Structure 1
Amino acid sequence: MKYGWILFALAIAITSCVSKKQFQTLEASKVEMEKAFARKNADCLEKNTSLVSSIAEIQAEKSAKEKHLSELKDTMETCQLQLEENLQYIRNLGSTLDGQRQNLATEINVKNKILQTKELELNAALAKAEEERARLEQLRKELEKTSQRVKDLEAELTRKEKAVLELKEAIAKALAGFEKLDIKVEYRNGKVYVILPEKLLFASGSIVVDAKGRDPLIEIGKVLNKNESVQMAIEGHTDNIPMKGSESIKDNWDLSVLRATSIARILIVDAGMNPKRIQAVGRGETQPIVSNDSPEGRAKNRRTEIILTPQLDKILEILNN
C-alpha cells in the first residue's frame, strides 16, 4: 500500500513539472522500486508461508501434546486408581498381617506353654527313667548276686545229693549181708531212709532190741562214723492196735518213743556214735505207710525208720546270704 502512494505521487510529479530526463530517471527508479517491492513481497510471502507452515506444525505439535497430555492424564488417573487400590490392598494386607501376627503370637505363647509343660514332663520322665535305671541296675547287681547264690546253691545241692546217694550206697553195702532180714534203704527228698521191720528188732510189745537186730544197727553206726556231717533221726512207728497198758508203757506212742531210744543207745554205746548227732522220736500210729485193715498192712506199719540227713549248714548259709 505504501508503495502504491509513492508511485501515484511520482506520476503526478512527472506529468506536472518534470523533464523527460527526470521522467526517465523516475521511471527507472520506479522500476527498481517495483522490483524491490516484488522482492519484498516475495520475501513476505515466503515468510508468511513459512509462518503458516510453522503455525501448522506448532498446531499439530500442540494437538499431539494435548493428546499426549490427555493420555498422560488418563494414565495418571488410572495409576492413581491403581495406587489407591494398591494402598487399600496394603492397608488390608497390613490389617490381615496384624491379625495373623497377633494369632501367631498367641499360638507361639500357647506352644511355648505346651513346650514348657512338655519339658517339665520330659524332665520328670527322665528323672523317673534315671531312677528306674538305677533301680534296674541295683536289681541287676542283686540278680547277679542271686544268680551266683543260686549257682552256689545248685552246686551245693548237687554235692549234697551226690553225698547222700553215696551214703545210701555205703549203707546198702554195709547191710548187704542182711538181705534176708527185709531191711530197706531208700532215697527220698534228699534223705536216706533205712526202714527196719519190727520183727528184726523187737518182740511184740517189747522195747528191748533183739540180738539179730543189733548187728545191722552197728554196721549202720560204722558207716555214719565215717560221715560225721550226717545227722540221724530215729523214728518209731506202730500199727493202730491199742497197746495194753503197763506201768512203763501206756500206749503206742510210748512204745514208739522207747523203741527209738533203745536203738539210739545201741548206736551210741556199741557203735560209738556222738549222741549230739542222734534224735530219737516216736510217731506211734500217726504215720502209717499202708492201711491197717489187714495183718500184713499192720506188720508193715510196725517199723523203725532211721532217717539220715546231711548237714545243711552250707546251704543255709547260702540262703541266708
Structure 2
Amino acid sequence: MNIGKIGAILGMALIMTSCVSKKQFDALNTNYNQCVTNIGERQREIQDLKGVNAGLASENNLLKGQNDALKSSLDACLANTGKGSANIDKLIGEINSSNKYIKQLISTNSKNDSLNLALSNRLKRSLDNVADGDVQVKVLKGVVMISLSDNMLYKTGDYNILPAAQEVLGKVAKVINDYDTYSVLIEGNTDNVPLNSNNLPKDNWDLSALRATSMAKVLQTKFGVDPARITAGGRSEYNPKTTNASVSGRAENRRTEIIIMPKLDEFLKLMEIAPTKK
C-alpha cells in the first residue's frame, strides 16, 4: 500500500467521524508517519535484495562455466588415457636406445684407451735410448703426448730442426705412419723471456709457431707423414708446464709437443649417429 492510499483512507476516516479530538488526531498522524517510514525501509530492503540476487545469479553463471570447463578437461583426460600409454611406450623405447648408444660410446672409448696405451708403449720402446729429459711419452686425457725439449731440437732462439734430432723424429714418424688412422697435432711452446730481434722470429708467438711448422715439414718431407693428418700451431709462453722463475723451469717450458689422437672427424661421426629404437 503506497503513501497516497494511506492518506486517502485517513482523510475518509476524518470525514466519516466528522470531528475528532486533538489527541486522536496526533495519534493518527504519528501512525501515518511511522507507516511512511516503514514503507521507505521496506523499499530499500527490496532494492538490496535485488542487488544480492543479481550477484548470486552472476556467481552461479561463473560456477556453471567453471564446472563446464572441468568437465571438458576430464573428458579430454579420459580420451588421452590411451595416447598416454602409447607415449610411455615410446619414451621407454627411446631410453633403451639411448642406453645402447651410451654403451657404444663407452665401448669405443675403451677401445681407444687400449690403442693409446699400446701406441704409448711402442713409442717408449722406440725411444728407450733417448734421455728422459729430452723426450717424455705419456697418455693424457685420451691422447698420446710426446714432449720434446728445445735443447734437443733447436739452437737458442732458432726454429730449424737440428740434424741430431732427426733420428728421434724418424722413430716417432715410423709409429705415426703405422697408426695411420690417428691425427697429429704439433704444438710449439716457449718460456716467457722476450726475444730481441727485428727479423723472424720477432717474438715468442712467432718462435713457437715456426718451431711447430718446422717440425711438421720435417715429418712430411723426410719421413712421409701425410700432411693432411697434421695440424701445427704455436702457444707461445701461455701454456707453461711449470714456473718460469728458474732456469730449469724455463727449460722445461721450452718444448715442442706431438699429440697423437683419434681423428676428430671420426669421433664426431660417432656422436652424430642418432640412437635408433630396436
The CA deviation string for residues 32-68 of structure 1, in whole angstroms up to 9 with x for no partner, is: xxxxxxxxxxxxxxxxxxxxxxxxxxxxxxxxxxxxx
Larger relative contact order, structure 1 or 2 (CA cutoff 8 Å, min sep 6): 2
Query: Runs of 5+ in structure 2 lacking a partner?
Result: 1-67, 274-278
Aligned to 2:76, which of 121, 124, 129? 124
Give 2:157's aligned residue: 205
- The answer to whether residue 267 in structure 2 is matched with residue 315 in structure 1 is yes
Deviation at 1:131, TM superposition (A): 3.2
Structure 1 residues 262 and 117, CA gap change in structure 2 (3 angstroms)? closer
Give 1:20's aligned residue: none
Provide the rounded CA distance (Å) in 2 between the counterparts of 1:273 and 1:174: 17
Provide the rounded CA distance (Å) in 2 between the counterparts of 1:138 and 1:278: 45
Provide the rounded CA distance (Å) in 1 between the counterparts of 2:80 and 2:270: 34
Give 2:237's aligned residue: 285
Aligned residue type for 1:205: G
Aligned to 2:124, which of 172, 177, 186? 172
- Please say which structure displays the higher CA radius of gyration: 1
Give 1:136's aligned residue: 88
Identity across aligned pairs (percent)? Answer: 33
Deviation at 1:140, TM superposition (A): 1.4
| Contact 2:134 2:151 survives alignment (8 Å) | no
SS in 1 for 2:144: strand
Aligned to 1:246, which of 168, 177, 198? 198
Deviation at 1:177, TM superposition (A): 2.0
How many residue pairs are counted as aligned between the two chains? 207
| Contact 1:152 1:318 survives alignment (8 Å) | no
| Contact 1:181 1:200 survives alignment (8 Å) | no
Aligned residue type for 1:227: Y
More helix by share: 1
Query: Runs of 5+ in structure 1 lacking a partner?
Result: 1-115
Provide the rounded CA distance (Å) in 2 between the counterparts of 1:280 and 1:314: 20
* 1:61-140 alignment, distance < 5 Å: 123-140=75-92
| Contact 2:188 2:256 survives alignment (8 Å) | yes
- The answer to whether residue 226 in structure 2 is matched with residue 271 in structure 1 is no
- The answer to whether residue 195 in structure 2 is matched with residue 233 in structure 1 is no
Deviation at 1:248, TM superposition (A): 2.0
- The answer to whether residue 146 in structure 2 is matched with residue 146 in structure 1 is no
Provide the rounded CA distance (Å) in 1 between the counterparts of 2:256 and 2:213: 11
Deviation at 1:148, TM superposition (A): 1.5
Aligned residue type for 1:165: L
SS in 1 for 2:158: coil
Deviation at 1:127, TM superposition (A): 3.3
SS in 1 for 2:225: coil
Provide the rounded CA distance (Å) in 2 between the counterparts of 1:251 and 1:313: 33
> Aligned Cα RMSD in Å?
2.1
Aligned to 1:190, which of 127, 142, 149? 142
Structure 1 residues 118 and 309, CA gap change in structure 2 (3 angstroms)? same
Aligned residue type for 2:95: L
The CA deviation string for residues 64-92 of structure 1, in whole angstroms up to 9 with x for no partner, is: xxxxxxxxxxxxxxxxxxxxxxxxxxxxx
| Contact 1:197 1:302 survives alignment (8 Å) | yes
Provide the rounded CA distance (Å) in 1 between the counterparts of 2:246 and 2:69: 83
